């Protein structure tokens, strides 16, 4: 079975600071409440973390799957140090419980401990995998509101960064993991977002290499136009596993972004159907589709293509801008996406523009 291109191999779970004044964050609304016609709670003010500075300490946590070798930890620590940060390992960083990086309590305790520690200025997850949604009831969200700071990761970290934003209003970050490939492109977008505090324009590079036209990193406009709203989303499988829970964001007027890896296309179709059945798609202002790496037809008599899935769920029924090909997901070079920050998407240009800095 193909493995993720950017993180250590994970179990086949996929089979199945301060308050800003200009924007809003999300509170979770169970799907049943939406179905019963109950209105979503008013969004609390957006909380932005303090920007990271050279010499700051990054706390490494592992809220999801275990890593079974020492080398990925060494590479992650050396990479962060090369970027000018100090590194502190959470107490249970190298723990293991089956395929998980420790018990639910150990993994949640590390999240809480890193937020509580004033000498830790930002928190980065080591890897994805599975199991992140198991710790959500154990996270101290009141503590996070009191001591907001950078929290980053992607893949299975979609559970934690989504829940933290939904419950507190803190801008969190769909960013490289500690075990990711720390190339110039990914570092530049992370640094611009959380160190320099730029209102970034996220645009795919148009590399032609030796070709007459660009073949790599292409975007495609599925429905043209621009839209503005808080950007929410992440790994599709993890995101849909949270549907109807107290950690599900409020989607009204949001820009939805999705990505995934190692999923048969019929499963992708099922997961997008979940978003539709949960009332998400009818509420969003726009859709950005990232990389769906190694998402293939699978066995059997045939399958829809990804293009057909996008057409059926996004293009035909919705009247909002949609584009695909954004450099988000299980790819070597990736954008950093600030969860909950107001952005403008341009489906014709294939870009995302922050409407304000993501950090203070």
Of the pLDDT bands very low, low, confident and very high (cuts 50, 70, 90), residue 228 is very high
pLDDT tens readout for residues 44-81: 789 999 999 999 999 999 999 999 999 999 999 999 99
pLDDT tens readout for residues 201-212: 999 998 877 788
What is the predicted pLDDT for the residue at 28? 37
Report, as an integer, the average pLDDT of 146-173: 98
What is the predicted pLDDT for the residue at 32? 40
| 19 pLDDT higher than 60 | no
pLDDT tens readout for residues 250-267: 999 999 999 999 999 999
Distance, CA of 200 to CA of 259 (rounded, Å):
20
* Residue 315: DSSP 8-state: I
What is the predicted pLDDT for the residue at 41? 57
Percent of residues, the chain, with pLDDT higher than 90? 82
| 100 pLDDT higher than 60 | yes
| Domains of the chain, each with CATH number or no CATH | 12-194 (3.40.50.10740), 201-354 (3.50.30.60)
CA distances from 294 to 7, 217, 350 (A): 14, 15, 22
| 95 pLDDT higher than 70 | yes
Selected residue with higher pLDDT from 3 and 191: 191
Distance, CA of 151 to CA of 207 (rounded, Å):
31
Question: What are φ and ψ of residue 309, in 5° steps?
Answer: -60, -45
Q: Is 46 helix (H, G, I), strand (E, B) or coil?
A: strand
């Amino acid at each position: 079975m193909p493995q993720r291109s950017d993180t250590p191999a994970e179990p086949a779970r996929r089979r199945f600071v301060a308050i800003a004044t200009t924007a809003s964050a999300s509170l979770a609304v169970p799907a049943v409440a939406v179905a019963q016609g109950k209105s979503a709670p008013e969004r609390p003010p957006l909380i932005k973390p303090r920007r990271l500075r050279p010499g700051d300490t990054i706390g490494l946590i592992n809220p999801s799957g275990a890593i079974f070798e020492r080398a990925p930890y060494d590479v992650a620590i050396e990479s962060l140090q090369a970027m000018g940060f100090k590194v502190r390992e959470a107490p249970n960083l190298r723990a293991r419980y089956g395929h998980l990086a420790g018990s639910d309590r150990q993994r949640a305790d590390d999240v809480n401990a890193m937020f509580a520690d004033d000498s830790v200025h930002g928190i980065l997850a080591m890897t994805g995998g599975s199991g992140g949604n198991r710790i959500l009831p154990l996270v101290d969200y009141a503590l996070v509101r009191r001591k907001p700071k950078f929290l980053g990761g992607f893949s299975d970290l979609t559970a934690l960064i989504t829940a933290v934003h939904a419950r507190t209003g803190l801008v969190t970050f769909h960013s490289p993991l500690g075990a990711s490939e720390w190339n110039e492109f990914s570092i530049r977008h992370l640094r611009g977002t959380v160190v320099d505090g730029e209102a970034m324009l996220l645009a795919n590079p148009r590399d032609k290499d030796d070709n007459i036209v660009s073949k790599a990193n292409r975007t495609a406009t599925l429905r043209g136009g621009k839209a503005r709203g808080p950007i929410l989303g992440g790994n599709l499988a993890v995101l849909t596993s949270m549907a109807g829970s107290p950690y599900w964001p409020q989607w009204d007027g949001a820009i939805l972004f999705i990505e995934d890896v190692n999923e048969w296309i019929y499963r992708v179709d099922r997961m997008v159907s979940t978003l539709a059945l949960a009332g998400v798609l009818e509420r969003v202002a726009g859709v950005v589709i990232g990389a769906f790496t190694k998402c293939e037809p699978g066995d059997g008599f045939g399958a829809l293509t990804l293009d057909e899935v996008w057409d059926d769920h996004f293009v035909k029924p919705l009247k909002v801008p949609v584009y695909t090909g954004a450099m988000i997901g299980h790819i070597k070079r990736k954008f950093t996406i600030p969860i909950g920050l107001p952005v403008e998407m341009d489906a014709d240009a294939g870009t995302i523009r922050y409407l304000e800095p993501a950090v203070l």
